[in-house]
Amino acid sequence: SNIGAKEAVFHFPLAFVNPGDYVLMPNPGYPPYERGTTFAGGKAYFMNLLAENNFLPKLDEIPAEIVKKSKILWLNYPNNPTTAVATKEFYKEAVDFCHDNNIILASDEPYTENYYDERNKPLSALNISKEGVVVFQSLSKRSNMTCYRVGWVAGDENIISVFKKVKTNIDSGTCTFIQDSAIAALSDEVHVEQFRRDYKIKRDLIIRALTSAGLENCAPKGTIYIWQKIPKGMTSVEFAKKLLHKDVAVVTTPGSWISKEVNGINPGEGYVRFALVPTIAECKVAAERLRRLRFK
């Protein structure tokens, strides 16, 4: 077990990255991808996630000289913050890309059980292949067990055995009573189904409010977020500040704050992230306030 998936994500490059090696990662993306790479002496190569490509990275556009020096490809679907869900075709492309270039496919998948349509459940990279693939999971999103700090890595046994050699020098695993709690949570689907119903109610409340205010319908297929496109003529910071006004008092994260400018593009600009973590009652209050706004 890991001390949550976050700890494993941060330490994973220590097992495989030498100084000067590259790690390919999404932009916007989870900060430990970059910071773990830097900690291991590696270099981050950011892949912009853009709406025109359904927020999937264009692997064929990565320069050949970068690919040759790359050790790990990080993916994260369903994606934080864009809420995109990867297709089977994309996972197949990513697996083939990694196999062809001797790159480890590290798939960060804490949101695979956070979806809104039973007919379109998110896939795992392990549905395509176990060879050269490792998946990072936790109970933080599935079972709302964030502060328990328990997670795991699954996939290619050869890769995991190398990572174990690093991990044994860092910690001794999650304490056993928390592991017992994790086993109990994994043995129960009732609470997970209830969480999905609750998140759908909250998603629909906020989406209806935002669309009635004149914003584009950006209803997510997965995760616990809304990646909302904002009106033209405003920056994501300006929009977020507008929502912080006392008459609205709704907190969002400006997209430009959680992504980096690459090749003259900040892919998070033009968006804000809503987190659907408040209660249903709190989301109803937020929806009423948002509905009063006008962006048409």
Please give the Cα distance from 236 to 80 (Å, whole number).
Answer: 17
Yes or no: say if 134 and 154 are a contact pair by the CB < 8 Å rule. yes
Tens-of-pLDDT digits for all 296 residues of the chain?
788 899 999 999 999 999 999 999 999 999 999 999 999 999 999 999 999 999 999 999 999 999 999 999 999 999 999 999 999 999 999 999 999 999 999 999 999 999 999 888 999 999 999 999 999 999 999 988 888 899 999 999 999 999 999 999 998 888 999 999 999 999 999 999 999 999 999 999 999 999 999 999 999 999 999 999 999 999 999 999 999 999 999 999 999 999 999 989 999 999 999 999 999 999 999 999 999 998 86
**pLDDT at residue number 296:** 63
**Distance (Å, rounded) from C-alpha 160 to C-alpha 15?**
10
Query: Does residue 229 contact residue 215 with C-beta atoms inside 8 Å?
Result: yes
Topology, domain 4-186: Aspartate Aminotransferase; domain 2 (3.40.640)
Structure tokens at 160: 């995991």
CA-to-CA distance for 52 and 108, rounded, in angstroms?
A: 23
Superfamily of domain 190-291: Aspartate Aminotransferase, domain 1 (3.90.1150.10)
Nearest C-alpha neighbor of 212 from the set 294, 137, 146, 119? 294
| C-alpha torsion 145→168→128→101, nearest 10 | 130
Tokens linked to 73 = 């490809």
Residues 237, 266: Cα–Cα separation, whole Å: 13
Find where tokens 């993916």 sit. Answer: 75
Name the helix (H) or strand (E) containing 102.
none
Per domain, the residue ranges of the chain are 4-186, 190-291
pTM: 0.95
- The residues, any chain, with a CB within 8 Å of residue 225's CB and separated by 6 or more, are 80, 81, 83, 273, 274, 275, 276
Per-residue pLDDT, 145: 85
The H or E element spanning position 155 is strand 151-155
Position 251 scores a pLDDT of 98
pLDDT at 138: 94
Length of the chain: 296
199 Cβ contact list (under 8 Å, min separation 6): 114, 116, 224, 276
Distances in whole angstroms, Cα of residue 191 to Cα of each of 54, 144, 194, 196, 274: 31, 10, 5, 9, 23
pLDDT of residue 172: 86
- The reported pLDDT for the residue numbered 148 is 87
Query: Is residue 261 classed exposed, middle or buried when 0-12, 13-18 and 19+ CB atoms within 10 A define those classes?
Result: middle
